[in-house]
Chains A and B, each alone.
Chain A
Amino acid sequence: MPQVSLTVNGKHATVEVEGRTLLVELLREKLGLTGTHVGCDTSQCGACVVQVNDISVKSCTMLAVQAEGASVTTIEGLAAADGTLHPMQAMFREHHALQCGFCTPGMVMSAIDLVQSHPEGLTEEAIRHGLEGNLCRCTGYHNIVKAVAAAWPLMHGQTQAAAAE
């Protein structure tokens, strides 16, 4: 069986996998990182989004062996070692942007990439457009959009008050 070596949440791992193993299967089944979820089998729902070399990727759409040498961040790797939440996690909680929690890891990972890749700012419309790869059945997205908007100034080093000016 092929071997794949990669870094996940800052830790190095070398794992034997079948060639057909998906990255999400490696994360969930070989590394026990069950925070990344599988919500569909057609790459439509986005519950499995992780970051591979700082770019958000649907980990059900990538073979594990394609992650050779990559640095992968999952939902488990976002909070600081002392438990301090990433601003996106904190804003999801503050704005009640999750209910059942199943789409949440993928939604948070996608939202982080969306904010990071738009230093110029994000309109509500741009946030809605940017999240089109992630399905949520619980919230109606209203509070997710609010949470992402609130995380933008925190991630770009501005306070919310300054951003509002």
Chain B
Amino acid sequence: MNAPFEGIGASVRRKEDLRFLTGRGHYVDDINRPHQLHAVIARSDRPHARINAINTAAAKAAPGVVAVFTGADLLTAAGAPIGGLPCGWQIHNKDGSPMAEPKHPVLAEGKVRHVGDPIAVVIAETKQQARDGAELLAIELEDLPVVANLHDAVRPDAALVHDSAPGNLCYDWHLGDAEAVAAAFARADRVVSLDLTNNRLIPNAMEPRAAIGDYDPSSGDYTLYTTSQNPHVIRLLMGAFVLGLPEHRLRVVAPDVGGGFGSKIYHYAEEAIVTWAAGKLRRPVKWTAERSESFLSDAHGRDHVSTAEVALDKDGTFLALKVRTLCNMGAYLSTFAPCVPTYLYATLLAGVYKTPAIYAEVKAVFTNTVPVDAYRGAGRPEAAFLLERLVDAVCHDTGLDRIAVRRRNFIPRDAFPYQTPVALQYDSGDYEATLNAALKVSDWAGFEARRAEAAQRGKLRGIGVSTYLEACGIAPSKVVGSLGARAGLYEVANVRVHPTGSVTVFTGTHSHGQGHETTLAQLVCDQLGVPFDQVDIVHGDTAKIPFGMGTYGSRSLAVGGSAMVKAMDKVITKGKKIAAHLLEAAVDDIEFKDGKFTVAGTDRSKTLGEIALTAYVPHNYPIEEIEPGLDETAFYDPANFTFPGGCHVCEVEIDRDTGAVSVVNFTAVDDVGRVVNPMIVEGQVQGGIAQGIGQALLENAAYDSSGQLLSASFMDYTMPRAQDLPNITVATENTMCTHNPLGSKGCGEVGAIGSPPAVINAVVDALRDYDVRHVDMPATAGKIWSIIQSNRPRMAAE
């Protein structure tokens, strides 16, 4: 019997599932170190206040409490003071000056700036004792005027979140050609504009964040176990900028991580606190967030208000696009926050359209809210929502057909590589193909019959489409460096062929649900011909992996997988030299296929296992020419971003009496490039769509005008549950990425990017008789009910 096919293209069942399904997963909170202490963070319950006093005496005297530290203790720490949390991306203003970058203290210094801002840490023998101790802290806060939201932040009389950021401005940035856009608007037949809000979201990975600091007094080495998507990045940021620890003294381990969606990219205060305290107290210190803390301390996402205007000719051809966006940074700059509404957003404003001129202005402001950073899609969902809502507004205002306007403006399939007016150069795509497939699979043509049938049941049925694009596979280091990134964004793979021929790959990417242990092993099966069960993928430990930038921006396969291909190429190149020696042939005559080195045109061959054994037991070996061992490392820096895209079609039904919106059909046809494991890709896309439907219909991080987070628990923040979601039909219609060896583009974010506009376009379509042009997210039952009550139907319902 032939072995099952387990290479590229096979829906291999996941390696990691066995441990997750039997309770043997190994998440940070599952780890306990000997003699470990427990930390509880005391957080501000005020959005903006001066700290007049912190009396720690009672807490310090409480049973089991070992230490209490405040911001002042960190500033006066023996050795060097503890630095602020660094920001990894610097944006420049229109005038060339750098953005405002106020200090982000590990523990509050003098003021608190958002509900949840950490003030003190109480460390005790047990978690309960630490909790009890924290209750005894006497923190005197004097309230200051609050900047609760974007609109408050830009009022002329607004209070200042940071004295060093006048007008609460972080940056005032722009991209594109303002003059060309103005000229196009001047000659346009028509201008259509739309004001829209991209609602603030809370990522809510199911595993709350956790961190354990450990210190070995004999070696002076520190270990941090943390719920991170990128342990090397945390090591660099915390070691170099916060604690002043050299990398060789600091190990960061991110074991099994229970979802991230961006929120676990960033370096958080608690990581620095437990690591520093472990050194100070010479005992391990563990902190695990309660969900309430997660709501108040994990970076939030989105939170834009925008005005978009498109200039059209009479046929509906886009002549130019003008966008003004105000976006919320929260109270401090999270690690990658500044790049999200700029280079991950405005650069995407061409979308799938050949709009010749684009100009975007983005103002980022500080508010007394939790810091905002990248959440699944990060900037790209905001761009897709704006564009795809704007296209439907064009059709609403002009009466043109939604599909026809999209087709008219598509970048044609023969136009690649295509240079957009907003910096990106797309390498490949076929937007007609994904649109056509989605229209067919969703039976777009048959919709009016379904609308009529629903009307008979008293339901308002609507259909919406989005044709979207994203840029991922983040990212070419030179390019991002020129745009303000303070890091390179290559990826690293170490491929170790063991003497027996089994393989361990050490990857700098990190899996927190994506299934890398399976997908990346399939790459090894495919390229080296090693059976799936003889390949292990190791990730998430700086002591094991040479280096790595981690997982976000749908980069693991396109960038991390490409690094593996490069390292495996090196293995094959070296293997050929060894095989040539053993087979007494010229290196150029050796071919490698299906795990065998063969002298071309002969049946003389050596398996990879035989070559590996020879490499480690080099008795008969060209030792003068090649080193022993079969262990290769590659760094891969991508030549460009990748550009997945596609078409999502959503059908909703609205209950006239309650305003409740149900998604009844959802079809996604995406172009994600080469697919390694179709089962995993489908799951990734469905999961992304679930979050996109959540954003469109349910989720909203709501602050009241006093700066309190109203949606601060799962009772108040509407996470999609099984009943809220439909079955999701996923297909792919792929073109290959032209610049990486796998041809893969990425699939982790497409669902969250393409779906929100498809849902809202369907909702607006369902309300076609109610004179509705736009509905802001989330389209809750209450919001839709109000629209139905206040907008008179344009024609009598049957």
Chain B residues positioned under 8 Å from A6 (CB to CB): none
Q: For B29, give its contact among A38, A75, A94, A131 (CB under 8 Å).
A: A38
Q: Which residues in window 269-300 of B have CB below 8 A to A?
A: 290-292
Given A40-B291, A101-B25, A137-B206, decide whether A127 and B722 contact each other with a Cβ distance below 8 A.
yes
CB distance from B261 to the nearest CB of A (A): 7
Q: Which residues in window 34-48 of A have CB below 8 A to B?
A: 34-42, 44-45, 47
Chain A residues positioned under 8 Å from B725 (CB to CB): 128, 140-142
Chain A residues positioned under 8 Å from B207 (CB to CB): 37, 39, 100, 102
Docked complex Cα distance between A36 and B366 (Å): 39
Q: Does B705 lie at the interface of the complex (its beta carbon under 8 Å from any beta carbon of A)?
A: no
Q: Find out whether the CB atom of A40 lies under 8 angstroms from the CB atom of B690.
A: no
Q: Find out whether the CB atom of B689 lies under 8 angstroms from the CB atom of A140.
A: yes
CB distance from A40 to the nearest CB of B (A): 4
Chain A residues positioned under 8 Å from B292 (CB to CB): 41-42
Q: Which residues in window 102-143 of A have CB below 8 A to B?
A: 102-105, 108, 124, 127-129, 131-132, 134-143
Q: Find out whether the CB atom of A101 lies under 8 angstroms from the CB atom of B513.
A: yes
Q: Does A62 lie at the interface of the complex (its beta carbon under 8 Å from any beta carbon of B)?
A: no
1/0 contact trace for A1-30 toward B, CB 8 Å?
000000000000000001010000000100
Q: Does B665 lie at the interface of the complex (its beta carbon under 8 Å from any beta carbon of A)?
A: no
Docked complex Cα distance between A103 and B713 (Å): 17
Chain B residues positioned under 8 Å from A139 (CB to CB): 683, 686-687, 690
Q: Does A76 lie at the interface of the complex (its beta carbon under 8 Å from any beta carbon of B)?
A: yes
Chain A residues positioned under 8 Å from B259 (CB to CB): 99-100, 102, 137-138
Q: Which residues in window 242-283 of B have CB below 8 A to A?
A: 256-259, 261
Q: Which of A33, A134, A143 has the most CB of B within 10 A?
A: A143
Chain A residues positioned under 8 Å from B13 (CB to CB): 93-94, 96
Q: Does B466 lie at the interface of the complex (its beta carbon under 8 Å from any beta carbon of A)?
A: no
Q: Does A152 lie at the interface of the complex (its beta carbon under 8 Å from any beta carbon of B)?
A: no
Q: Find out whether the CB atom of A99 lies under 8 angstroms from the CB atom of B30.
A: no
Chain A residues positioned under 8 Å from B686 (CB to CB): 139-140, 142-143
CB distance from A128 to the nearest CB of B (A): 4
Q: Find out whether the CB atom of B722 lies under 8 angstroms from the CB atom of A99.
A: no
Q: Find out whether the CB atom of A101 lies under 8 angstroms from the CB atom of B258.
A: yes
Q: Does A154 lie at the interface of the complex (its beta carbon under 8 Å from any beta carbon of B)?
A: no
Q: Find out whether the CB atom of A145 lies under 8 angstroms from the CB atom of B722.
A: yes
Q: Does B616 lie at the interface of the complex (its beta carbon under 8 Å from any beta carbon of A)?
A: no
Docked complex Cα distance between A104 and B14 (Å): 14
Given A100-B512, A101-B25, A137-B204, decide whether A131 and B722 contact each other with a Cβ distance below 8 A.
yes
Docked complex Cα distance between A139 and B683 (Å): 6
Q: Does A78 lie at the interface of the complex (its beta carbon under 8 Å from any beta carbon of B)?
A: yes
1/0 contact trace for B2-32 toward A, CB 8 Å?
0000000000011011111111110101100
Q: Find out whether the CB atom of B258 lies under 8 angstroms from the CB atom of A37.
A: yes
Q: Does B447 lie at the interface of the complex (its beta carbon under 8 Å from any beta carbon of A)?
A: no
Chain A residues positioned under 8 Å from B728 (CB to CB): 140, 142
Q: For A128, give its contact among B22, B687, B722 (CB under 8 Å).
A: B722
Docked complex Cα distance between A74 and B425 (Å): 52
Docked complex Cα distance between A45 and B205 (Å): 11
Chain A residues positioned under 8 Å from B258 (CB to CB): 37, 100-103
Q: Find out whether the CB atom of B22 lies under 8 angstroms from the CB atom of A35.
A: yes
CB distance from A73 to the nearest CB of B (A): 11
Q: Find out whether the CB atom of B722 lies under 8 angstroms from the CB atom of A92.
A: no
> CB-nearest residue of chain B relative to A18?
B128
Q: Find out whether the CB atom of B27 lies under 8 angstroms from the CB atom of A41.
A: no
Q: Find out whether the CB atom of A78 lies under 8 angstroms from the CB atom of B22.
A: yes
Q: Which of B14, B258, B290, B292 has the most CB of A within 10 A?
A: B258
Chain A residues positioned under 8 Å from B714 (CB to CB): 40, 42, 44-45, 135
Q: Does B208 lie at the interface of the complex (its beta carbon under 8 Å from any beta carbon of A)?
A: yes
Docked complex Cα distance between A143 and B685 (Å): 12
Chain B residues positioned under 8 Å from A78 (CB to CB): 22
Q: For B20, give its contact among A101, A136, A143 (CB under 8 Å).
A: A101
Chain A residues positioned under 8 Å from B206 (CB to CB): 37, 39, 45, 47, 100, 102-103, 135-138
Q: Does A89 lie at the interface of the complex (its beta carbon under 8 Å from any beta carbon of B)?
A: yes
Q: Does B679 lie at the interface of the complex (its beta carbon under 8 Å from any beta carbon of A)?
A: yes
Given A40-B291, A96-B680, decide whether A35 and B17 contact each other with a Cβ distance below 8 A.
no
Chain A residues positioned under 8 Å from B27 (CB to CB): 34, 37, 102
Q: For B687, give its contact among A76, A127, A140 (CB under 8 Å).
A: A140
Q: Which residues in window 633-689 of B have CB below 8 A to A?
A: 679-680, 682-684, 686-687, 689
Chain A residues positioned under 8 Å from B436 (CB to CB): none
Given A18-B128, A136-B206, A142-B686, decide whether A41 and B290 contact each other with a Cβ distance below 8 A.
yes
CB distance from A60 to the nearest CB of B (A): 10
Q: Find out whether the CB atom of B17 lies under 8 angstroms from the CB atom of A98.
A: yes
> CB-nearest residue of chain A relative to B27?
A102
Q: Which of B17, B512, B680 has the most CB of A within 10 A?
A: B17
Q: Does B723 lie at the interface of the complex (its beta carbon under 8 Å from any beta carbon of A)?
A: yes
Chain B residues positioned under 8 Å from A163 (CB to CB): none
Q: Find out whether the CB atom of A89 lies under 8 angstroms from the CB atom of B21.
A: yes
Q: Does B786 lie at the interface of the complex (its beta carbon under 8 Å from any beta carbon of A)?
A: no
Q: Find out whether the CB atom of A34 lies under 8 angstroms from the CB atom of B680.
A: no
1/0 contact trace for B197-218 toward A, CB 8 Å?
0000000111110000000000
CB distance from A112 to the nearest CB of B (A): 12
Chain A residues positioned under 8 Å from B720 (CB to CB): 140-141
> CB-nearest residue of chain A relative to B693?
A140
Docked complex Cα distance between A93 and B687 (Å): 16
Given A44-B713, A102-B258, A132-B721, decide whether A143 and B513 contact each other with a Cβ distance below 8 A.
no
Q: Find out whether the CB atom of B18 lies under 8 angstroms from the CB atom of A93.
A: yes
Given A75-B23, A101-B513, decide whether A142 and B727 contact each other with a Cβ distance below 8 A.
yes
Q: Find out whether the CB atom of B21 lies under 8 angstroms from the CB atom of A100.
A: no
Chain B residues positioned under 8 Å from A132 (CB to CB): 721-723
> CB-nearest residue of chain A relative to B691?
A137
Q: Does B515 lie at the interface of the complex (its beta carbon under 8 Å from any beta carbon of A)?
A: yes
Docked complex Cα distance between A37 and B721 (Å): 18
Chain B residues positioned under 8 Å from A40 (CB to CB): 291, 713-714
Docked complex Cα distance between A148 and B102 (Å): 51
Docked complex Cα distance between A9 and B514 (Å): 31
CB distance from B396 to the nearest CB of A (A): 30
CB distance from B711 to the nearest CB of A (A): 12
Q: Find out whether the CB atom of A98 lies under 8 angstroms from the CB atom of B715.
A: no
Q: Does B719 lie at the interface of the complex (its beta carbon under 8 Å from any beta carbon of A)?
A: yes
Given A45-B714, A92-B17, decide whether A99 and B687 contact each other with a Cβ distance below 8 A.
yes
Q: Does A144 lie at the interface of the complex (its beta carbon under 8 Å from any beta carbon of B)?
A: yes
CB distance from B687 to the nearest CB of A (A): 5
CB distance from B504 to the nearest CB of A (A): 22
Q: Find out whether the CB atom of A39 lies under 8 angstroms from the CB atom of B128.
A: no
Q: Find out whether the CB atom of B690 lies under 8 angstroms from the CB atom of A42.
A: no
Q: Find out whether the CB atom of A76 lies under 8 angstroms from the CB atom of B21.
A: no
1/0 contact trace for B724-735 toward A, CB 8 Å?
010110000000
Docked complex Cα distance between A132 and B719 (Å): 11
Q: For A89, give its contact among B22, B256, B290, B680 (CB under 8 Å).
A: B22
Q: Find out whether the CB atom of A79 lies under 8 angstroms from the CB atom of B22.
A: yes
Chain B residues positioned under 8 Å from A94 (CB to CB): 13
CB distance from B189 to the nearest CB of A (A): 42
Closest CB pairs A-B (n = 10): A35-B23, A102-B258, A101-B20, A140-B690, A100-B513, A44-B714, A99-B513, A34-B30, A75-B23, A40-B291
21 A–B contact pairs at CB < 8 A?
A33-B23, A34-B27, A37-B27, A37-B207, A42-B291, A42-B713, A76-B22, A100-B206, A101-B16, A101-B25, A102-B25, A102-B259, A104-B20, A127-B722, A137-B261, A138-B513, A139-B686, A140-B728, A141-B690, A141-B720, A142-B686
User: Can you name 16 extra interface pairs (CB under 8 A) apart from A37-B29, A140-B691, A145-B727?
Assistant: A28-B29, A34-B23, A42-B715, A44-B714, A96-B679, A100-B205, A100-B256, A100-B257, A101-B21, A102-B25, A102-B205, A128-B723, A129-B722, A137-B259, A140-B686, A141-B722
